[in-house]
């Protein structure tokens, strides 16, 4: 994504493609002054890019994987952004690892289909606990939807995910929405994104 990759940092071509469209959706939806918790930051490139482009919010990257945390930290140290915090270990499925709230928004990019369902259950429970009133949970990734033909590329991706781990796979948006509702979050927006992905925004009333 960049020529200037610091030691210990990872980089991903997918992030180079999706970061600008994600930014355009986030920009009008993150209230100034909000503390944003990013769950499953991965390499940390989204955190660096989004925090740089959105100086009006403070960004807290997290992941459960030590290698991801090292990569995020390498980017974060190089970026030297006042609004980008050092990464924290957070396992979405383990409530003990969640920081205490409140947060104005939670952003989670490409985790729900690449983790067991327990991670989504933990994510929704955490969002229900931590989000302020009118706070948003913003998810990016592919979904299955009733009445919407699934793109062949997403069907193939689903197969490959399940081949890597039987507990992974593209989720049905109706299941995710029902789980969110059980934690007091309502589906506020569904936004089509490039490459057959969606951004779905859940809101705490």
| Interface positions with ligand SAM (CB under 6 A) | 12, 15, 39-43, 46, 63-65, 68, 90-93, 109-111, 114-115, 119
Buried b (16+ CB within 10 A) or exposed e, 8-35: ebbbeeebeebbebbeebbeebbeeebb
CB closest to ligand SAM, residue no: 42
In whole angstroms, how close is the CB of 28 to ligand SAM at the nearest point?
21
In whole angstroms, how close is the CB of 8 to ligand SAM at the nearest point?
15
Closer to ligand SAM by Cβ: residue 2 or 186: 2
In whole angstroms, how close is the CB of 14 to ligand SAM at the nearest point?
6
Closer to ligand SAM by Cβ: residue 68 or 201: 68
In whole angstroms, how close is the CB of 4 to ligand SAM at the nearest point?
18
Spatial contact of 173 and 143, defined as CB atoms under 8 Å apart: yes
Closest C-alpha among 141, 120, 89, 140 to residue 185 = 120
Say how many C-beta atoms besides its own lie within 10 A of residue 156's C-beta.
10
Rg (alpha carbons) of the chain, rounded to whole number:
16
């Amino acid at each position: 994504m960049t020529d200037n990759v610091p030691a210990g940092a990872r980089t991903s071509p997918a992030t180079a493609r999706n970061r600008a469209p994600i930014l355009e959706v986030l920009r009008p939806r993150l209230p100034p002054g909000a503390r944003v918790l990013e769950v499953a930051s991965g390499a940390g490139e989204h955190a660096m890019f989004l925090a740089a482009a959105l100086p009006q919010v403070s960004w807290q990257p997290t992941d459960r994987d030590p290698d991801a945390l090292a990569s995020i930290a390498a980017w974060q140290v190089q970026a030297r952004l006042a609004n980008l915090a050092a990464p924290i270990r957070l396992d979405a499925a383990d409530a003990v690892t969640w920081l205490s709230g409140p947060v104005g928004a939670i952003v989670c990019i490409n985790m729900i289909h690449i983790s067991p369902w327990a991670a989504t259950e933990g994510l929704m429970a955490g969002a229900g606990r931590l989000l302020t009133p009118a706070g948003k949970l913003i998810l990016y990734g592919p979904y299955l939807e009733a009445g919407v033909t699934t793109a062949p590329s997403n069907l193939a991706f689903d197969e490959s995910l399940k081949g890597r781990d039987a507990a992974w796979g593209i989720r049905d948006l109706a299941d995710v929405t029902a789980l969110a509702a059980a934690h007091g979050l309502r589906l506020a927006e569904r936004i089509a994104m490039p490459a057959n992905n969606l951004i779905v925004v859940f809101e705490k009333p």
